[in-house]
Amino acid sequence: MKLPAHQLRRQTVRSFVEREIAPNIGKWERQERIDPGLWQAAAKIGLLGLRIPTEYGGAGLDDYRFRFIVLEELARAGAASVNAGISLVDDLVGPYLVDLGTDEQKRRWLPGLWPGTTTAAIAMTEPGAGSDLHGIRTRAVRDGDEWVLNGSKTFITNGGHADLVVVVARTGERQLSLFVVEDGMPGFSRGEPLETMGRRAEAVTELFFDHVRVPAANLLGTEGKGMRHLMERMSIACFALACAESALRWTLDYTRERSAFGSRIAEFQSARFALVEMTTEIEVTRAYLEARVLDLGAGTLTDTDAAKAKWWTTELFQRVLTRCVQLHGGYGYMLAYPIARAFVDGRIQAIYGGTTEIMKEVIGRSLLA
């Protein structure tokens, strides 16, 4: 699947991750925020803004295999929180601006996004509306050359310090639109950091909008037609698979070295069968996912296929994690081991970006269409 250019890229990314990220993950999780300097360092080696056009300073790469490599190397280091930050640039806010933004909007926001000098967030989830976007209550009403925004959002990664936030708001009975809210706009405020089970370095917060007057020039895309999910769901799927592969790799190493009753754990039939089953499921899943990555690059990926990839890989990851923790025994419960951190970090993957149940609804409706 990957060409020599991809392999060269992997060497660069792996070296950076081993040098700048892996030694600091524990510290960032404890302080509940990634050091801002990481993003500037990542930008210097081209880790951010892969799809941002070169005229705005990005790499201008539509080949998602380059992003997949970054996902794999971050998973290898157990750096889920770091991946969430990069995903906001490369899978969410960046693509929204590139695909939906006007020339003026791109000139305003893209040059600061890829070098990490502008921190971004995307605000969809609300206290009463998660995967069901029809339940969104945040509303924007047109008033002359401005939109008046009222409502609240929750579980927002980077919410506590984002310079710009892409907000999903209702602009009609059946219409959802996207607005870019900038730091400092009157009426825009942030809650205290939320205490999450895992991925504690993501700085997750609530956001509040009290009669925030957003310029009409900050409407992103066409009114009522702003939502897209392909890139986000493929990003989650690729990271879930990469994390499952890392969990299996750690477990293979552990069971080859650890002994019980005079034999290595990997020599017990029950352990061997578990390792065989996980290996097979992961390899079969990779074949499917790599084909969907190529579809994404060709512009032929459907919402249904992205939903299939998202729910299957994230549920596979849950099964792999549970079995791998069990094979680690008591050490699988210790956060000093990467498998334990992956266990608490990974649970969210079957929830955000659309729960497994919502993904099955998307697929089911396509079957009945």
- Phi and psi at residue 146, in whole multiples of 5°? -135, 165
In angstroms, rounded to a whole number, what is the distance separating the alpha carbons of residues 120 and 230? 19
**What is the separation of C-alpha 176 from the centre of its chain, rounded to a whole number of angstroms?**
22
- Which amino acid, 113? L
**Contact criterion met (CB below 8 Å) for 361 and 369:** no
Gap between the Cα atoms of 254 and 271, Å rounded:
12
Q: For residue 232, indicate whether it is catalytic.
A: yes
- Angle among Cα 355, 358, 362 to the nearest 5 degrees reads 140
Do 309 and 234 meet the contact criterion of CB atoms below 8 Å apart? yes
Contact 48, 42 (CB under 8 A): yes
CA gap 69, 232 in Å, rounded: 16
Instruction: Note whether 77 and 17 are within 8 A (CB).
Output: yes
What distance in Å separates the CA atoms of residue 194 and residue 175, rounded to the nearest whole number?
29
Catalytic residue among 32, 73, 232, 245: 232
Those residues with Cβ within 8 angstroms of residue 318's Cβ, 6 or more apart along the chain or in another chain? 346, 347, 349, 350
Single-letter amino acid code for the residue at 204: V
Give the Cβ contact number of residue 276 at 10 Å.
10
- Alpha-carbon torsion 84, 87, 89, 95, what sign? negative
Alpha carbon separation from 299 to 43, 69, 295, 327 (Å, rounded): 27, 20, 6, 41
Q: For the chain, what percentages of helix, strand and coil (3-state, to nearest 5) are there?
A: 55, 15, 25
The half-sphere exposure of 191 on its side-chain side, counting CA atoms within 13 A, is 16
Residues catalogued as catalytic: 232
